[in-house]
Amino acid sequence: MANADSVEELLKKTPKEPDFVIDGIHFGRGGSYYDENTSTHLRHKTTEVKCWRIVGEKLEAIESKNEFFSSETYIVRWKSNTEYLRFEEVLSTRDNEIYFYWKGEDAPKGHSPLPECIEKDNPPVERIVQWAEPPAFLQLFSGKFVVHIGKHSLLSKAPHLYILRGELEEELHLYELPLKRGNLRSRTSFVVFNPDEKSSIIWHGKNSNAHCKESIRKATEKIFGPKYTEITEGSENDKLIYLVENEDCFNAPLKLIDYTPRLFYFNKITGSFLTTEIDCSHNSSHITPFPFLQSHLYTPEQPAIFLLDDNDEIWIWYGWDQDEDDGFKTECFIMAINYAKQKSKNIKRLVKLQKVIAGFEPDSFTHLFPVWQKRQDIAQLQEKAGVLLSANPLIEVISPEEAPDT
């Protein structure tokens, strides 16, 4: 059962540092790893990176190894040398050859076999997908990784919109989004690249912090070149005529984003009530404006219930097929209430606890994610099941004085 003590422990927990492990080796973020159990430092040095596009059953070498396309799949071969050190003394070394099998979000779904020329040698292979690449993969591109929409043969000369991802300079990457205002987010920065003019416009959301702004400048220069101008949300002019001006867009409130949101999955998989925190794939010590994806909510087996902590706004998200026992729902609700109360006490501010239902997520919720696709199929399922959508998702406003004594 959720109680104040377990909630306080959740709030005290710090996110884990990403650690890429393959073939029995800990790569950490890609450059080094410290093994506390053996007091051994692993230092990794990249010796070669090669990239191929998978075309049918063949591999096609690509010239711009930092440019991928969302409708395609790629093989990346990473060769490295690992030194094992203790107190700066080299104990041993080994050479590594690792393959990444990368699949774009619009590529054909399902498990695809490796090309025979690779599979016959049975090398260590890590399958990864767009939006969830580990830092060890991103660091291979030194902050120049970019994913365009579609296929390489269909890249148009029209302007393109890209969202910034990653917080460390060597892990910065850009993903292309459809060119419309509804895809802009106030808590980060974007770039619009015009291939004809070979120039860029950097757009800063009104809640984008200084680190985001500096990061997108660096990414833009590395990927598209030094010719760019900058504008801030609310001060747009005809320079952004490419964007859909008439679209009805969400106007996010001005807010200091000095925290990274957190996401918790409520479940009874083991028979007991459990709260599992979801980790961001590229977590770092810097503030991450969008650590989670829509797929984190929609991929788990339903029914599912999540708690999203956006500092002074706590959301409890209910999936579909909500046929679990009322006791579990009650435990989830009590956990959310106690969490919100303890959070209010910790940050010494009012906290809003809000309910959101799958298929009917309001803009104020969907804009906590880097991109969101409206799921009409889920909305229709909910309506058939008789799920009623409340016009006001607010459950309760909690003050610091309401926190339980611990």
60-78 pLDDT, tens per residue?
999 888 999 999 999 999 9
Q: State the average pLDDT for the chain.
A: 90
- Are the C-beta atoms of residues 187 and 288 closer than 8 Å to each other? no
- Are the C-beta atoms of residues 314 and 340 closer than 8 Å to each other? yes
pLDDT of residue 329: 86
Q: What angle do CA 60, 66, 69 make, to 5 degrees?
A: 65
Among 105, 166, 151, CA closest to 130: 105
Rounded to whole angstroms, the Cα distance separating 107 from 73 reads: 7
Which residues sit opposite 44 in a β-bridge?
A: 82
pLDDT at 273 over 90: no
Here the tokens at position 330 are 């009650």
Domains and CATH numbers, the chain: 18-142 (3.40.20.10), 149-255 (3.40.20.10), 262-402 (3.40.20.10)
Rounded to whole angstroms, the Cα distance separating 364 from 389 reads: 15
- Are the C-beta atoms of residues 62 and 109 closer than 8 Å to each other? no
State the pTM of this model.
0.93
194: Cβ–Cβ under 8 A, 6 or more apart, which residues? 159, 200, 201, 242
pLDDT of residue 109: 86
3-state secondary structure of 307: strand
Range from 161-175, 194-208, 313-327 carrying the lowest mean pLDDT: 313-327
Q: Quick one: DSSP state of residue 29?
A: T
Rounded to whole angstroms, the Cα distance separating 100 from 114 reads: 11
pLDDT of residue 242: 60
Here the tokens at position 128 are 């990864």
3-state secondary structure of 77: strand
284: Cβ–Cβ under 8 A, 6 or more apart, which residues? 167, 168, 171
3-state secondary structure of 80: strand
Residue keyed to tokens 């900058």: 230
Rounded to whole angstroms, the Cα distance separating 87 from 91 reads: 10
More reliable by pLDDT, 177 or 330? 177
Rounded to whole angstroms, the Cα distance separating 211 from 217 reads: 10
Give percent of the chain above pLDDT 90: 71
301: phi then psi, degrees, rounded to nearest 5: -60, 135
- Are the C-beta atoms of residues 312 and 352 closer than 8 Å to each other? yes
Here the tokens at position 197 are 């003019």
Termini Cα distance of the chain: 16
Residue keyed to tokens 């596009």: 53
Q: Quick one: DSSP state of residue 87?
A: T
Among 128, 147, 146, CA closest to 137: 128
Query: 210-265 pLDDT, tens per residue?
Result: 999 999 999 999 999 999 999 999 888 776 766 655 566 778 889 989 999 999 99
150 CB burial (10 A radius; 0-12, 13-18, 19+): middle
Query: 102-130 pLDDT, tens per residue?
Result: 999 999 988 778 888 888 889 999 999 99
Query: 349-383 pLDDT, tens per residue?
Result: 999 999 999 999 999 999 999 999 999 999 999 88
Query: 127-154 pLDDT, tens per residue?
Result: 999 999 999 999 999 999 999 999 999 9
Residue type present at position 246:
N
pLDDT of residue 1: 45
More reliable by pLDDT, 23 or 389? 23
Model confidence at 392, pLDDT cuts 50, 70, 90, reads: low
